[in-house]
Structure 1
Amino acid sequence: KAIGTDAFQEADIVGITMPITKHNFLVTRAEDIPRTIAEAFHLASTGRPGPVLVDITKDALQARTTFVRPTAAHLRGYRPKTRPHPRQIREAARLITSSERPVLYVGGGVLKAGATAELRDLAELTGVPVVTTLMALGAFPGSHPQHMGMPGMHGDVSAVAALQKADLIVALGARFDDRVTGRLDSFAPHAKVVHADIDPAEISKNRYADVPIVGDAREVIAALAAAVREEGGPGDHAAWWRDLNRWRDTYPRGYDLPADGTLSPQLVIERIGRLAPEGTLFASGVGQHQMWAAQFLPHDEPGTWFNSGGAGTMGYAVPAAMGARAGRPDRTVWAIDGDGCFQMTNQELVTCALNDLPIKVAVINNGALGMVRQWQNLFYGARFSNTVLHDGATNAATGSTRGVGSAANRGTRVPDFVLLAEAMGCVGLRCESPDELDAVIDKANSVTDRPVVVDFIVHEDAMVWPMVPAGTSNDDIMAARGVRPDFGDATDD
């Protein structure tokens, strides 16, 4: 009765969330609650998965009713199409077998569809290179010889080159977002596009699809593999692989260690991945540490990488790791976070400590909002504004005086994450030297009864490479230390 009267704390949450949910409901009667909840779960988990909000009024929550278990949800007008059209599948298979420079561009929809086995079968059948987006890491084994890496703004040079020089892109559960394409009008200029997605609104939204396929990724990929076999199997891609391997060998993934002997953030993340127990789950926040985690953690198993993707949600890592541990209590869970992100949601460690969720948090502490600082360094003449997270003085927390006025370890890092962790019932550790790195990570892995926070004090001015500057073409990608790669002409021997 109070709805619309501006009563205490009233907010039109249904209206507010409408643009960012798949659907939402307002429930005003107690007897409608079971049916609505069943419908909400059906909507959230079918078709293109997405969040559904259910707003239940206070009087409905306080009323008495008789619970009736709902039958299967039947929503008028909601009929997700999962089976692809056979004609489109045949046309896509014909293009795959006849193209000279094809690429499988794999997005998070493949993971959501549980289609990783089907993807590997299709890739190995065709011999086509595979690139996996940030949201698809683990959908195809990162160590597989056909995996070219992650495309996009901070992707692998070889993955970016593969898309730019392709004559056919087979997009599976991906949406051609701006982080992958760079300047859209210069993206993959010579490629035809097969675009498969369960959401018809995504197809041809950003890039025109020569062959649009609406359907569930698992059914689409299985059908494509069968159709390729009917077409007589894969084409000859030997010349294409010579180009791909040249780019991969010439511009490998890597990083430089700081000249002053301080801790490299890339090394920290790489060693966490190497020393983590088998089956470890990884979550990351947003920023430089996110890109380094995408680049240097192992991504061979599906469902082991949790990330907010295009939402760019700072503070995502700790609550995501908490949920991952609750869902998989048999697995070790590491949250890779930055000192900026960590300060947005670290209070959830209290929830972890009180509810027996012993996650591990690596705080990649460079004393700055690193990704913004990188942009200020590269594009704004090193005019640093509101990105510093230290006081500019000696590091009193560790007793370290090195780095005052230098590029590394400058100033006292605030807050002291070790003391903060201990105050929240966690184990707090700190690492400042490469010499102690493995021992500290091993100690964190050995703690199983409480959450662990490791404060890794790393070099302040480390940068994420490669990089495609915002608003530019993927052809303008800068490799390590800003070097511009020379792709040459595809299919040159």
Structure 2
Amino acid sequence: MNGAQLTLDILKQHGVSCIFGYPGGAIMPVYDALFESEITHYLCRQEQGAAFSALGYAKSTGKVGVCMATSGPGVTNLITGLADATADSVPVVAITGQVPTALMGTDAFQEVDVLGLSLAVTKHAFQVTDVNELEKTLHQAFEIASSGRPGAVVVDIPKDIQISEVNPQLVLLESSSLPEPSSDSILAAKQLITQAHKPILYVGGGVALGNAVEELNFLAKTTGIPSVSTLKGLGTVDPTDENYLGMLGMHGTKAANLSVQECDLLLAIGARFDDRVTGKLAEFAPHAKVIHLDVDPAEVSKLRKPDVSLLGDFKHSIPALARGLAVRTEVDAWRNECRLKKAKYAFEYTMEGTEYEQQIDARALLHRLSAIMPNNTVVTTDVGQHQMWVAQHMQFTHPQNFLTSGALGTMGYGLPAAIGAQIARPEDCVIAVSGDGSFMMNVQELGTIKRFNLPVKVLLIDNTKLGMVRQWQRLFFEKRFSETDLSDNPDFIQLANSFDIPGQTINRAQDVEQGLQRMLQSSGPYLLHVKINEDQNVWPLVPPNTANQAMLEG
């Protein structure tokens, strides 16, 4: 076989059944091999769409997502998606074409320095210059992408390597194993837990990546310790747990933020003390001792030095920590205090003032959608106000059911990620919640939905503004609304119809129920276009460089 055929053969060995990509000159031999391959290729309408579809596939399943592009602009269009995957620790392998090795370094047509471009935003990058190294390199790419802290890996394959003959070898790679925390560290952590009177579980996205959702919930229920979640951790803790306080941070719930600020022990599990979570770092959980569980040693002590660190596989470290612990009566008063905060500061889904009587409250809309959508629905978002409303007002039964761009905050993520999730989970309902600004960034992927007849639902929340930027301009830039007006948006229903996607527009509160039901009951793709008031903002909000208890509430 040649290098292109070998590439697809290795992908099959790793259980790859689908690829998201876009062809071009330097990757053409692989696409020629695809013509007779059992692997299904999903033609996206731009390479960034392919990368985000691979992310959606990976995040909704826990498997490695695969995307593919040609050299030059094909690779540069992938870069944002690869950066997003690495920032959010999502396992993705990108296969990229490159000009023939004899032309490399000559500024040949569509040549770019793939290694130079990608090394800064990937977990690792390879460039294959010997066809006999191709097999081992591809195996390494999958191992690196999925092991430890996952991320994106690029394999750049020059065109002459793709067409060169090669004899496949049986390549055996040693699987990397995660360390296990020492018994002394476990004992020290347990001592802190048994001494604490106001403990909090601070749950991040790493728990789901470590396939330890059940273990985390066992720890929470065994100890009765109140818990909070990061944006990427949503869905990890059982949302019906009476001790779960919701998301913390810049747009976190008041109960979560106040409780964390008052706690005397913080158990950070798969979380990294991100600035959007901590607010002013020096004043974050100021009275708390810290136990930090993680798989990545680079995260421990990076921003907050823990009193005890447990480095290793959550499948082992969390049960080891939970073993022998129980609900302590000494924490009863704290539990009751947290529950009272949760009840006292719960969101209310009404809008005050006669001017809003007939208008749609985005928060109430999403809260209602959460209540009536199928239990295993996958919800993707873009980035902005709608993203924070989803995080605040919807509940998820598993972290693989909520897909969003966390660390990089990439607009244009939601629609292609929903495509990847729908392909990965064809029996489940998939809803892309987007804003009118974000939706236009990868709107071309409606063509992918049409071609493959994917039943993706799009809930488009439209305030004719770049809402989050405008909210900050209102609060911190003296209402100088610079370049946030989108009042010349297209007719979104007509746009969807041009891709044979039905839909409707609603702008009155009384039409919300009917609109949501029609969207959910549609057997194919559907666009529900929801017009809201441009002045509806996200609350609470912790201003930058401010402690989390100093929330603005509108």
**TM-score, L = length of structure 1:** 0.88
AA aligned opposite 1:417 = F
| 1:466 aligned partner | 540
Query: Residue in 2 aligned with 1:257?
Result: 351
Letter in 1 for 2:521: S
Q: Secondary structure of the residue that 1:476 maps to in structure 2?
A: coil
Which of 437, 450, 455 aligns to 1:340? It is: 437
Does 1:224 find its partner at 2:321? yes
How far apart are the structure 1 equivalents of 2:174 and 2:157?
Answer: 19
Q: How many pairs were matched up?
A: 450
What's the counterpart of residue 66 of structure 1? 167
Q: Deviations over 1:219-273 (max 9, x none)?
A: 11111011536xxx63511221232123223221235426322111112222222
Match of 1:55 in 2: 156
Cα distance in 1 between the residues matched to 2:528 and 2:349: 22
Please tell me whether the aligned partners of residues 421 and 430 of structure 2 are also in contact (alpha carbons under 8 angstroms): yes
Residues 375, 397 of structure 2: 8 Å contact kept: no
Q: CA deviation at 1:478?
A: 2.2
TM superposition shift of 1:69: 4.5
Contact 2:231 2:406 (C-alpha < 8 Å) held by counterparts: yes
Match of 2:50 in 1: none
For residues 432-487 of structure 1, give each alpha carbon's deviation from its aligned partner in whole angstroms, at most 9, with x where no partner exists: 111111112111112223x21111111111010111011111121123x2xxxxxx
SS in 2 for 1:267: helix
Q: What are the residue-to-residue correspondences of 1:452-491 with 2, within 5 Å?
A: 452-479=526-553, 481=554
Alpha-carbon separation, structure 2, partners of 1:425 and 1:379 = 43
Look up the equivalent residue of 2:133 and give its one-letter code: D
Q: Kindly indicate whether residue 166 of structure 2 is the aligned counterpart of residue 91 of structure 1.
A: no
Q: Confirm or deny: 8 A CA contact 2:202 2:267 kept in the other structure.
A: yes
Please give the alpha-carbon distance, in whole angstroms, between the structure 2 residues aligned to 1:108 and 1:150.
12
| Equivalent in 412, 415, 425 of residue 328 of structure 1 | 425
Report the CA distance between 1:179 and its aligned residue: 0.5
- Give me the whole-angstrom Cα distance separating, in 1, the residues matched to 2:444 and 2:168: 37
Deviation at 1:73, TM superposition (A): 4.6
Structure 2 segments unaligned to the other structure (5+ residues): 1-101
Q: Secondary structure at the match of 1:135?
A: coil
SS in 1 for 2:325: helix
Task: State the Cα distance separating 1:112 from its structure 2 match.
Answer: 0.9
Deviation string 1:282-316 (CA, Å, 9 cap, x unpaired) is 01111100000011112233421111111101111
Q: Secondary structure at the match of 1:202?
A: coil
Q: What is the CA deviation profile of residues 392-436 of structure 1, one whole-angstrom value per residue up to 9, with x for unaligned ones?
A: xxxxxxxxxxxxxxxxxxxxxx11110111112211221111111
Determine the structure 2 residue equivalent to 1:484.
Answer: none
**TM-score under structure 2 normalisation?**
0.79
Paired letter, 1:17: S
Deviates more, 1:434-443 or 1:256-265: 256-265
**Native 8 Å contact 1:83 1:219 kept in 2:** yes
Provide the rounded CA distance (Å) in 2 between the counterparts of 1:360 and 1:16: 35
1:417 matched to 2:492? yes
Question: Residues 97 and 235 of structure 1 are in contact (CA less than 8 Å); yes or no, is this contact kept in structure 2?
Answer: no
CA contact (8 A) 2:128 2:158 kept: yes
Which deviates more, 381-390 or 240-249?
240-249
For 1:13 and 1:374, locate their aligned partners in 2 and report how far apart those are by CA, in whole Å. 38
Gaps spanning 5+ residues in structure 1: where?
392-413, 482-493
Identical columns (%): 41
Distance (Å, rounded) in 2 between the aligned partners of 1:210 and 1:169: 10
In structure 1, C-alpha distance between the alignment counterparts of 2:112 and 2:210, rounded to whole Å: 36
Secondary structure at the aligned position of 2:119 is classed as helix
Alignment of 1:192-271 (within 5 A): 192-228=289-325, 234=328, 236-257=330-351, 259-260=354-355, 261-271=358-368
Amino acid at match of 1:420: L
Aligned equivalents of 2:340, 2:512: Cα separation in 1: 34
Paired residue secondary structure (2:549): helix
What amino acid does structure 2 have at the position aligned with 1:34?
A: E
8 A Cα contact 2:242 2:339, kept in partner: no
CA contact (8 A) 2:243 2:338 kept: no
Q: CA RMSD in A?
A: 1.5
Aligned residue number for residue 44 of structure 1: 145
Equivalent residues of 1:42, 1:73 under 8 A apart: no
Deviation at residue 80 of structure 1 after TM alignment? 4.8
